[in-house]
A = this chain, B = another copy of it.
């Protein structure tokens, strides 16, 4: 098997800092975790919060702390730091090499989409963002890693795209159309969803948008780990 992750991210129009933070980190026993946090409001304050949350989570994950415990620690930590006045959404997507499972941690009202081949399931049990109450717990799903598995997590900028103009994005339908195509790469899926959202926002995103797509494919025989990053710096 091989795991492929594609991440696409854009700032709210005319802001230089995104309130979303996404980091990918290696897990102590192999595997990887993708951590996505969206801080309340936008700009510098939101960035400070989402960075705090993601840092806390990846430090704990790197020490071997389980995903659920890391999410609870990040929540208590933000609650203590900001006296319950500031919230953040948090998603963790982990490939655990030891248990050969995908672990999905949600402290985000936004749905997580999970597909086995073309069949999409929504993970949408009610759950709270972190930081508002002491002892907020995440929703956790653990799924065996198998070829054809796709998971999609995103910040709420994606769902609200176009709402200023009376439209809104049906992410499930968009994903279904993409999965019906010939084996799209996760980066293609993330890019296509983001493009759709930006069209609905008429090219000026009303909020920060981050999309993470993970797919499991068959093993090609190539043992090389790879990571490609693109960072636009403007004119």
Binds B, one of A19-27, A73-81, A119-127, A169-177: A19-27
Cβ-based interface call for A219 (8 A): yes
Picked from B2, B4, B59, B95, the residue with its CB within 8 Å of the CB of A55 is B59
Give the Cβ gap from A33 to chain B, nearest Cβ, in Å: 11
Interface contact A228-B191, CB-CB below 8 Å: no
Cβ of A151 < 8 Å from any Cβ of B? no
Minimum CB distance partner of A48 in chain B: B28
B232 and A219 form a contact (CB under 8 A): yes
B31 and A231 form a contact (CB under 8 A) = yes
Is the CB–CB distance between A231 and B191 below 8 Å? no
What 17 new A-B contacts, CB under 8 Å, besides A2-B230, A227-B227? Answer: A2-B233, A4-B230, A5-B231, A6-B227, A6-B228, A7-B227, A8-B225, A8-B226, A9-B224, A24-B24, A32-B231, A186-B228, A191-B226, A219-B233, A222-B232, A223-B232, A227-B230
